[in-house]
Chain A
């Protein structure tokens, strides 16, 4: 047994209202730079829909993730090491910018600069790639709320799999939202595809990161990731991905997407797992067995053996305790309502989902029947094959059984809690029908419905004994220890770049507001190079040209 800790997330899809707040705040925090316009570490997809980038789930086309070869060994679907190196000069499976969308802005200045005229001036869209006028034809959530789905939804790779039974007609429409971030997989195929070895999994918390200094821009990770959650920054020529907001996680704060989630549908916590069993689980022959196999990899944090091994493996005591209180463990293993996204990619993803009951509830409600009645809901779950099979394609490689079980648990919880809320006697037969005790059902309800901040996010800070020297808490600053006083070979600011941290911004603010050296009064305006995006030369970059007199 080799115990490792993994920071994981579960999203409760029933609560997602598709407001995109997570996407927007994430973008503001991480990808608001040139070169990252089209990069959404977090995006929210309307399903059925094409996803982002378009049809990314069609692995026969994109060849992401792992597969079993003829001898039953786990290999990269996109080809092994030699094939990767032979195709390195032109990646055959890289989505073009068109598969994402061409980012654009508007020439807003025409709105304010236009002279008085008969017609209202318009701001035309300008491509941020070519700088030319462009026609907007697609974007990150173009088919939001099924917009235009009659024209595009038939291309949804998951819908295609069940398409002989489904005609995507308006009367049969169901819909839900799927927020996606990097899965921080236990067996990440992006890392395995990286020729430079720049993508690594942090041994402490399993967060998968790209070393920006080691990345050489070969782009194999973009093809290797079946979730297409690694993006190529076309300005810097480097790969970028969701960081699980590691600077926040290190000090015990939830990710930006979770923190700002309006529906409070995200849960963050630790999972302990046996690293020795990952390969075996990922090599499970039957796609339908992968969900169970991955659950087998997780370790019970209450088991004394596991606790002992975890301590031996250098996992701190407070981390083990956090793993015991982990809402993720409860949702995945205790209540078994969370399912992995596309286990058939064999990457062992670690952002799991509670599938939505809403497509079922909506149908029952539309018929005018009682949508909180156990009989009605269970019958509807059994009858509504299309939404259920669609969910199964997403979460269990097409195996309807586990999705059925989860939805019935959610339905049972609805009915059971209604009795309590209406002041009636709770009916013990309802939890029993889905194999749960009344107490478990109530606890699950608490966790899903009313869990507070510190129950939804159980994040032990990185090594409490070092917390003092973590950047967010820097209270012992001496200037020379920071980039501010950094004096390398070529003077101030030279040498290796200092990592981004709060104090860098404080330093920046100091410089901007100081009235000495940093902004010399006799030398005119100085340009803040930290904010300069490298385009053109803003006024003040160079001293004014001396005129001959």
Chain B
């Protein structure tokens, strides 16, 4: 059972995530957008959206550090377990709280503002459910697990993180997850569920974060496509260059 939950399911989800994105990019570039609803409502969005997004940026950054940096590395540079814990929990709490509050505002907005609600697809709703559960479980793990230590101390950097790296290295060790507290197990499983949904939702806009804007010239020039009209260029026929 553990093998299935923490090896098979995650790999299926990861495959769906990767292949799904390739497929979506190939076949649905037109649908690849944030699907912004700012035009309909701005008052709540102005508070909720930056809170949620900046919170999420913090959360993702925290996960990258927590999951990908082995404890031995931070030990080696002399960061004690305690100080790491304090920084991680404070940062995690702040970012998590911002994301959670932002999400509550956004979901409230989505449900109560008529035009926004009617622009919500079924896929959006499923995605919101997964996202909400994952964030709530994550907050639970931080508050109940790491601060109040409900159910005993658990150092995820010796359990979940190691499992995650083994998973990425294609040598998964399910036993590490099996001994983790239920909250962590569920958090991971729902997160993988979210990953599987990802390419089929508006979440794809994450991968078009426009960092290239910082370096590209302001005005973009383009020559007309080689393909004039809806002909596909025929093989062996090159355009006459001017």
Contact = CB atoms under 8 A, between A and B. Distances in A.
Given A129-B40, A466-B240, A197 B228 contact: no
B32 to A, nearest CB: 7
B83 interface: no
Contact of A316 (B213, B221, B234, B242): B242
Contact of A237 (B33, B53, B211, B229): B33
A148 B36 CA distance: 34
Contact of B210 (A195, A238, A314, A504): A195
A192 B219 contact: yes
A201 B30 contact: no
B111 interface: no
Nearest to B237: A469
A470 B38 contact: no
B219 A504 contact: no
Contacts of A274: none
A499 B221 contact: no
What secondary structure prevails in chain A residues at the interface with B?
loop
Interface in B118-139: 118-119
What secondary structure prevails in chain B residues at the interface with A?
loop
A481 interface: yes
A199 B33 contact: no
B65 to A, nearest CB: 22
Interface string B195-231: 0000000000100101111101011111110001111
B220 A201 contact: yes
A216 B34 contact: yes
A84 B213 contact: yes
B39 A97 contact: yes
A200 B222 contact: yes
Contacts of A131: 114, 118
B49 interface: yes
B234 A201 contact: no
B229 A469 contact: yes
Contacts of B231: 469, 471, 474, 481-482
Interface string A82-108: 101100111110101100000000000
Contacts of A234: 37, 39-40, 119
A35 B199 CA distance: 24
B70 interface: no
Contacts of B45: 90
Interface stretch (A165-173, A284-292, A431-439, A490-498): A490-498
A111 interface: no
Interface in A222-238: 232, 234, 236-238
B140 to A, nearest CB: 26
Contacts of B61: none
A81 B214 contact: yes
Contacts of A96: 39, 42
A484 B119 CA distance: 32
5 contacts: A91-B38, A94-B42, A97-B40, A236-B33, A466-B240
Interface of A: 76, 81-82, 84-85, 88-92, 94, 96-97, 129-132, 187-188, 191-192, 194-197, 199-204, 212-219, 232, 234, 236-238, 314, 316, 462-463, 465-466, 469-471, 474, 481-483, 490, 494-499, 501, 503-504
User: What 3 A-B pairs are tightest by C-beta distance, nearest first?
Assistant: A471-B229, A195-B210, A192-B218
